[in-house]
Chain A
Amino acid sequence: MEKKYLILLISINLFMVLSCVKEPIEPEKTPVTIDTSYSTIGLYVLNEGLFNMNNATLTYFNYSSSQATTDFFDVQNGRKLGDTGSDLAIYGNKMFVIVNVSSQLEVVNPYTGKSIKQIAFFNGNKPRQPRSIAFHNNKAYVCSFDGTVAVVDTASLQIEKIIEVGRNPDGIAVANNKVYVSNSGGLNYPNYDNTVSVIDIASMQEIKRITVEMNPYKIVADGYGDLYVVSRGNYSNVKMCLQIIDSQTDQLKYTFPDLEALNLTINNDTAYVYYYDFISGSGSKIMTLDVKNETLIRSNFITDGTFIETAYAVAVDKSSGDVFITDAKGFVNTGQVFCFDKYGKKKYAFSAGLNPSSMAFLYKPKS
């Protein structure tokens, strides 16, 4: 009797050791060869990932094959980008990827996807936390949360100078031989900053601070010497807004009335601006503005009813005028990238990674 019990028990134990639920299978990783025959070769999407999960990824979307490869950077390099990707840009024949929490500037050959150099952004042991990048005359200007702008030579890839600006800079743009940096003060809740630092490129000195609405964020330059600045307010009684700085006078010249904005991009005379409101449940709102006359063109860019849940980035392909909008899908699910024609009709969509936060187009090199 006991023996039977024992045998039964031992066999139950053995059975328990054998686990029966199968893990998902790792998708195959095939290196990508980039087809360079189109005028726009492809689109890079930087997926921010989630904080402390080391899952920032780079999606490469190939125009000729309409294939999107997420985890492109890992496939091409055998390592991941790191934690919280925050900005992406192509300048000359190099692509620059800012990885905020890992505190790195990753320089990549955009035609192969191979890393050229990883530039560490540390002040001793303190991570500087780089945020955004802008370019002028073969120099990259990278603003970091520690209140600095680093000047990086795009040929030698050396940090040449560190310029002190205001608190927690978040956005950067170049206009009229000056660099404009938005000092958000975002880590000083409730005491946000409300200035934009102006750096004179010739002297590499901060020459002025322009007062704007509380908590400035994105800055984008148009073709008329103006800078569009988004301020996020304090998330309660001070609302978000969109303002214009004139780079001739370095003065705030206009604030759009009753217009809440989170982010924008400018292509020729059109600005594409989006705003997102969870409470209304209506998803994201994408607007267009005329930057020449500084007026609203359309309060709803999308004309075919395509629903964007949580818009997270906007960019325009300069060769076709197509507008790309990313949807972060509530921030914890796989993001999507939508392509619209200039009339606001959806052309196609593809899946990217977690929280697609910035895009860069790879154009055919001028020969």
Chain B
Amino acid sequence: MLLTVVIFLPVVIAGVLLAARGLGARAAIGLWVAASAVDLALVGWMWWRFEPGEGASGVVDGLAYEADLQWIPTVDAGYHVGVDGLSLPLLALTGVLFLACAIYSLREPDRPRTYAALFLFLQTACLGTFASLDLILFFVFFDLTIVGMYFVIAGWGHGNARRSALKFFLYTFIGSLALLVGFIGLFLGSDERTFDMVALAANPPLADSPVAGGLVLLAIGLGLAVKTPLFPFHTWLPDAHTDAPAAGSAVLAGILLKLGTYGFVRIAMPILPEAWQRWAMVAVVVGVISVLWGAFVALAQTDVKRMIAYTSVNHMGYVLLGLGAAGLVASADEGARTVATVGAMYQMVSHGLLTGALFLLSGVLWSRGHTYAFDRWGGLARPAPVFAGCLALAAFGSLGLPGFSGFIAEFQIFTGALQATPVATVIAVVGILVTAGLFLVALQRLLTGDPVDPVVPAEADADGTGERPAPDRTDGHTVTATRPEVSARVVDLRGHEVASIVPLLVLALVLGLLPRIVLDVLEPAAMAVVELVAR
């Protein structure tokens, strides 16, 4: 019951917002913030009461806050929701990130009531996907997130928003259709003819038909790969991000991408263990290609937001590497495979926090200068020191510096995956060097150097090598002329921006230094997944 309240509270408030036509802008956003805060508090309460258990626990047992109602009895699909160590951290992440987005949007001038309602609807869809224990229910929530995000991008985006939104919608929607085909395959292959995930994981379908199992895994994998996104299905991501509003980007990268990777852990691995083992190497290879592709393409970007978008491809690649290694049962012992799985799960939470913060920070850039282009910015550390500090923290967190949550994830993925697949892992490790380079170059371009007027195109630094000694800028005539004007224009972070971004960074630090908070919940579930995959 509590879980159902957590899932549907936001959408109920959304309905209230839509119905209350006379509500003022500030009141509407205030209600949004309050609803998100209450929802987060409820998730916190669930976490507090949750018993992670000793040893492997989760997926097929140890489910808490379960609710199971009949819905379509003819195909045994029901409203089956529940929480275990896999879903709880992601439910909490959803609560945190949506609250941060609500606070960030406190001054949203454009149709705030509808905006708030749309985000609350999205929150319900995301929470529902993470809590679903039924394939049809999962699919419905999964598709609702696509619908909600389409309207966010199309309605509140900038630039070529409608085109990007349509591209996002069609691409991910077609992906979800592949997912549905896979789900139907699972249904037909199961002995009990059910869509219930727990029942399917307990008694995996298609165990003795490798071809059918492989095809079903292919369909599910394609659907999830589009959502994650993995190379080569990632090209909707940069467009959608560049044109989405900041809060939309934060949710898209922070939560929606996790639906894909979460699907691998929750559905593909426990329900199709035999096929996952057989095709694990494909996951590893796709993961490693995504890691390097995302990192290098991000390095070449001339637009802050596109760069951050491509680093998401890189970070999600690590997740696939870890999950793939978990399927290579023959070549690694259980401890190593569990470590890799824990790392992959941790990466989902960590990436949500850090990329969420990065996208909100890029939204600050847009609000000040209406551009994301690197060569339109420079010297921001002087007029906006708080912004500079936050951006530096988020960048170092995102490049996997120990002390931030990203390190806990990536170290475990590499350490656990090396035994299973040494060559792929050694190649993937290079990814953290490239991300280090690209984030430091980005910091250098945005924060130091001469202040550049973001509105007037300037000559500045588009060479991108990052090693500009720039000893004598004798052509600095225009630059010095614009300096005072820019210093006056670029305002440092405002109160609501600080209140939304800083908590995300603090949380990333806390989870980097005291990882037991999450690991105590996560590790039993990861053990369970590894055991289920090894069947």
- Report if A and B associate in a common complex: no
Q: Which B residues have a C-beta under 8 Å from some C-beta of A?
A: none
